[in-house]
Structure 1
Amino acid sequence: MSATLAPRVVVVSRRSELDELLVRHGTRPAAEHFLRERGRDLDEVSARHEALQQALTAVDAAVPADWRRGRVDREDLPRFLFGPEDLVVAVGQDGLVANLAKYLSGQPVVGVDPEPGRGVLMRFGANGIGSVLKAAAGGAAPVRRLAMVTARLDDGQELAGLNEVYAGHATHQSARYRLFDASGRQERQSSSGVLVGTGTGATGWTASIAADRGWKGALPGPEEPALSWFVREAWPSPSTGATLTAGRLEAGQELRMVCESERLVVFADGVEADRLTVTWGQQVVFGLAQQRLHLVVPG
């Protein structure tokens, strides 16, 4: 009988703002000058850097010695292969979980906030995280299964998001396309793009558009199998309309877009670098993703 393979904890983080500043400006005095000209203080940035490093150290110390370990920076996520039995620990801000979600397929995610109280998805502090890791690895930790959204091109390419996916012009200029809603209604439009969001994203970009629009419909909850969608700044003209501009997608329903521009882009959760390109005549289908983010929460 073969021995049971020890769990692998994969810690995901991103470079701190201080790290980014030093890459860009070379030295701490240069970074300090850059911040001072913008009314900011290097001490604040340094304190957040130290909080992140301390949280990473605490997480590393909490992993049992006989467990396997992995480490990946946010920038390397597209090239990292997660195993089905991995336990993922995201250390940083809420956006890191959103960036991570589309690369997972049911692995539990423990969100660690270096500055507890600032995050919504980062539900744990670094201190005492060891018991959480053991509970999650043993399947005993409570988990919220958060709905995700997917955009699928007619050539088979697909992109998923935890908060939302956006389709439109790369520079947010006028995008031209034909839109088909879940009931089969269609309209040729020229707009700043289409946003399709989940319940998790209903407190961010989606909520902002809904409030600005005065939309009275109910936005979905994070675990609800439903999405909301909005057209940004649709412009009526002799050849384009502005009546299909918002709605909900329930389980099994889809929103379709046929590109009538030379080139549009589709990206998820604000990460434009990881995007799909749509050319004239190509179709994009939006709907609920099959996968969900399994977010570990306090008991």
Structure 2
Amino acid sequence: MSLAPRAVLVHRTTEYEELLARHGTHGQAAFFAAGRGLDIREVRERHERTRRALAEVAGAVPLSWRQARVERADLDRFLFGPEDVVVVVGQDGLVANAAKYLTGQPVVGIDTDPGRNPGVLVRHRPVDAGRLLPAAATTAAGRTAAEELTMVEAVTDDAQRLLALNEIYVGPPGHQTARYTLAVEGGRSAAPEPQASSGVLVGTGTGATGWLRSLWQQRASPLRLPAATDPRLAWFVREAWPSPTTGTACVEGLLGPGEALCLTVASDRLVAFGDGMESDALELPWGRAVRVGRSETVLRLVG
């Protein structure tokens, strides 16, 4: 007998909760906020909106379903099941945080603060949950389709793997210069190029609305950035430096099916992290090779 669906509500600690945890009382938190030009009332109002949204979504879960909640900080310790319907209640970035731990489960994005969030991934309001959850359950069972958003992965030569929805950064952990040899593997043949730069960014069409787009705009790139469901990836080298031993001929491009960007580390230490999560980085010592390309895993976004 198959298990009933489980609604997994993903949320994050609010700013107000963080202030209370740090300062102990509302009064102390208000004093701290006022000293920095913040209005604690606005912070608390956003907190209350988030709590109301969580309660409304939880109340919309069908009675025959199971239900669980997971805070963002605990995602790496939570075991998602194949029958889960993942409901992200928060901001767009929270969807990206959750995506790397999923294996095809449908995701419903609920915006807790319309107007402050772009709403690219959290496209719905709490009132929509009652309608969306049954539809998401049929998506989990494979009877209806969801939008499949491309994801990017980095795999090292010692089999470490990193998955991201927006982009993966490979570069120095601080402000030092990254040294490496870069090559495009797959459909195009080009000689590997030693480079010195402030890092390399490889991203998806979803990431093309954020950090990737800022690099694209800054350099007035002629590349046509991919859409969220496009299987292609875009990549840019940040601030490549020409020297007698390092080049700048290969600094941007698109990766099609079967292609990947390959870097061999020539610095003492580089890191690779996804979606801005520096705390969850791969360590890349001298000589380590890392391959960055499209992942077979996709994010299945409902609605």
The bucket for the TM-score relative to the shorter chain is over 0.9
Cα deviation, 1:95-114, whole Å, max 9, x if unaligned, reads 00001111111100000111
Task: Measure the CA separation in 2 of the matches of 1:128 and 1:152.
Answer: 38
Structure 2 partner of 1:144 = 147
Q: How does 1:64-75 map to 2 (within 5 A)?
A: 64-75=62-73
Structure 2 partner of 1:123 = 123
How many residue pairs align between the two structures? 295
- How far is the alpha carbon of 1:67 from its aligned partner? 0.8
Could you tell me which of 159, 162, 167 is aligned with 2:165? Answer: 162
Could you tell me which of 16, 22, 37 is aligned with 1:18? Answer: 16
Structure 2 partner of 1:210 = 216
- How far is the alpha carbon of 1:39 from its aligned partner? 2.3
Structure 2 partner of 1:102 = 100
Task: Decide whether the 8 Å contact of 2:50 with 2:112 is kept in 1.
Answer: yes
SS at match of 2:17: helix
> Where has structure 1 moved over 4 Å in runs of 4 or more?
none
Name which of structure 1's ranges 280-289 and 123-132 shifts more when overlaid on structure 2. Answer: 123-132
Structure 1 partner of 2:273 = 267
Task: Measure the CA separation in 2 of the matches of 1:143 and 1:225.
Answer: 16
- How far is the alpha carbon of 1:65 from its aligned partner? 1.6
Could you tell me which of 280, 287, 296 is aligned with 1:281? Answer: 287
- How far is the alpha carbon of 1:185 from its aligned partner? 2.7
Task: Measure the CA separation in 2 of the matches of 1:211 and 1:238.
Answer: 29
180 and 44 in structure 1: CA distance in 2 versus 1, 3 angstrom threshold: same
Cα deviation, 1:134-183, whole Å, max 9, x if unaligned, reads 11112366521000001100000110110000011111421111111243
Where structure 1 has 5 or more consecutive residues not aligned to the other structure, the ranges are none
The answer as to 2:203 corresponding to 1:227 is no
Query: How does the TM-score come out when normalised to structure 2?
Result: 0.94
Name which of structure 1's ranges 176-185 and 279-288 shifts more when overlaid on structure 2. Answer: 176-185
Where structure 2 has 5 or more consecutive residues not aligned to the other structure, the ranges are none
Task: Measure the CA separation in 1 of the matches of 2:205 and 2:275.
Answer: 13
Query: How does the TM-score come out when normalised to structure 1?
Result: 0.95
Could you tell me which of 170, 174, 181 is aligned with 1:171? Answer: 174
Q: Indicate the percent of aligned positions where both proteins have the same amino acid.
A: 52
Task: Decide whether the 8 Å contact of 1:168 with 1:265 is kept in 2.
Answer: yes
